[in-house]
Amino acid sequence: MEFKLVAIEKPEEVNLILGQAHFIKTVDDLHEVLATSMPGLRFGLGFCESSGPCLVRAGGTDPVLVELAKRNTYALSAGHSFLILLRDAYPINVLNAVKSSQEVCTIYCASSNPVEVILVETRQGRGILGVVDGFRSKGIETDQDVISRKELLRRIGYKM
């Protein structure tokens, strides 16, 4: 058994959802869920098929993100994992719809941060052990930090 660390490559403004599913139709169903959750959503989706031909399957509406999702998903090559890359949208906009898909078993993270995926590799294949999402905490928020957080949420339209 060997441990590996794979960094997800993406532009800073792109958000991601990393999860695990269980069936070849996952890529088609997730594509449909995403496309119908938010009109005009720009996304790329990669899915590791872990039986039969064991291919990375892909879909999406943004060709650049589709290619990036395929490349990242292949770098992971972890059984039945999927990666969704979102442009001009936040995971919160689609996460419940993704989680409600019949094939989805686990969501490892949903983030705009740099993400590193911790993998284990055996003779059989690879599995995701967990993720490093962003950076280590630098302190505890102050009263001014609370005000700034609430102002940000109002500025981007998530609070009144």
Picking from 136, 91, 124, the residue whose alpha carbon sits closest to that of residue 83 is 91
Residue 160 exposure: Cα atoms within 13 Å on the Cβ side: 0
Percent of the chain with pLDDT over 90: 94
| Amino acid 143: pLDDT | 96
Taking the domains of the chain in order of start, what are their residue ranges? 2-155
* 85: confidence class by pLDDT, cuts 50, 70, 90: very high
CA distance 62 to 54: 24
pLDDT digits (tens, 9 = 90+) for 20-54: 999 889 999 999 999 999 999 999 999 999 999 99
| Amino acid 33: pLDDT | 96
Q: To which residue do tokens 């928020």 refer? A: 141
Q: What's the token pair of residue 10?
A: 């993406």
Fold classified for 2-155: hypothetical protein tt1634 (3.40.1520)
| Amino acid 157: pLDDT | 86
Predicted TM-score (pTM) of this structure: 0.93
| Amino acid 47: pLDDT | 97
CA distance 17 to 23: 18
